[in-house]
Amino acid sequence: MARVPADTGVRLFVTQDLSATMPRARVNNHDMYYEIHGQGDPAVCMGGWGTFCHGGARNLARGLIDRYQVLIIDYRGLADSTDDPDTEPTMALYADDVIALLDHLGWEQVHFVGLVGMGACISQEAAIVRPELVRSLVNMGAWAKADPLLYDQLELFRDVHRDCGFFAFQKFVCTMSFLPEYYNANKDKLLGPNGGWHELNGRYDTHARLVQACLEHDTTDRLEKIQAPTLIIHAGQDQVTSPRTTLPLEQGIPNAEGVLMPDIAHVVAGKDQKIAFCNVLFDFLERH
């Protein structure tokens, strides 16, 4: 069973996956929904403006929950986590949420797997402010500070959602995030109420707060403080967070490893690409 302290004071929700617990915890002045899947050494896996919870664990790296005890979360204001709209949305705030939850669970020496933007930035902050908590760090689809192009792209995603509605945003972000071949073959499942980034449907305010944190994220002058073994994955076909934004992380974090995956877009999709990604990920994690 996943390791949950006896005195959490939270309700556990029973599912068919008996290896998973799905409680909420009051941390950092909000109610945070999380799930724990699998057994083994602890790892937290975070993506972009969505969640791996509520059935999304199937989108985790294949084999991750077979080898590790994996924590996944709803960011504040998303899905079943509450938010305080009077609190300024900074990347430090979202990192403090994760840190507070890990402290609540009593987890130490945790592998931080941050993928596709937001989760990677949160992982950087955690590795800087709580180095003893982070056993290793994986970043993909990431940046230390948004350059003008990335800054404008992030703003544009937000503005399209605000001005044209969720489904226009969904189409826009999907066309930017997947390889053309994958999008053409899978358009019907990528778009619609159950498609990509569906957690943001009807939650523009939450999306705007997540974007603000991404726009203001800046670890450029603090990367040297990251002590954890670090893997930076460069996605060669990424139209949003290309090696242009990920190389500075590899160069700025002491002893960071970099791996170029030349055929990968912003989101890893398709059987062959997922296998290649898992080979890179597990090789790194198993060495640390």
Residue 179 lies in a domain: no
The identity of residue 49, as a single letter, is W
Q: What is the pLDDT along the chain (288 residues), one digit of tens a residue?
A: 333 333 333 332 223 343 455 689 999 999 999 999 999 999 999 999 999 999 999 889 989 999 999 999 999 999 999 999 899 999 999 999 999 999 999 999 999 999 889 999 999 999 999 999 999 999 999 999 999 999 999 999 999 999 999 999 999 999 999 999 999 999 999 999 999 999 999 999 999 999 999 999 999 999 999 999 999 999 999 999 999 999 999 999 999 999 999 999 999 999 999 999 999 999 999 999
What's residue 12's pLDDT?
29
Closest CA to 122 of 105, 106, 100: 100
Residue 90 lies in a domain: yes
What's residue 87's pLDDT?
94
**Beta carbons within 8 Å of 65's beta carbon, 6+ residues apart:** 19, 37, 38, 57
Residue 178 token pair: 């997947």
Residue 172 lies in a domain: no
The total of structural domains in the chain comes to 1
Residue 198 token pair: 């569906």
CA dist 69 and 107 (Å) reads 11
Q: Which helix (H) or strand (E) holds 45?
A: strand 41-46
What's residue 261's pLDDT?
97
What's residue 279's pLDDT?
96
Residue 282 lies in a domain: yes
Residue 12 lies in a domain: no
Q: What's 128's DSSP letter? A: H
CA dist 186 and 27 (Å) reads 38
Residue 113 lies in a domain: yes
Strand partners, 69: 42
Provide the terminal-to-terminal Cα distance of the chain, rounded to the nearest Å: 23
CA dist 51 and 43 (Å) reads 16
What's residue 116's pLDDT?
85
Residue 234 token pair: 């460069």
pTM value? 0.90
Residue 207 lies in a domain: no
What's residue 21's pLDDT?
58
How far lies 270's CA from each of 58, 120, 190, 274, in Å? 13, 22, 13, 6
The identity of residue 279, as a single letter, is N
CATH of the domain at 250: 3.40.50.1820
What's residue 187's pLDDT?
98
What's residue 39's pLDDT?
94
Radius of gyration of the chain (CA): 18
What's residue 2's pLDDT?
35
Residue 169 lies in a domain: no
How big is the CA angle at 93 (ends 212 and 1), to the nearest 5 degrees? 120
Q: Which domain holds residue 122?
A: 24-144+219-286
The identity of residue 267, as a single letter, is V
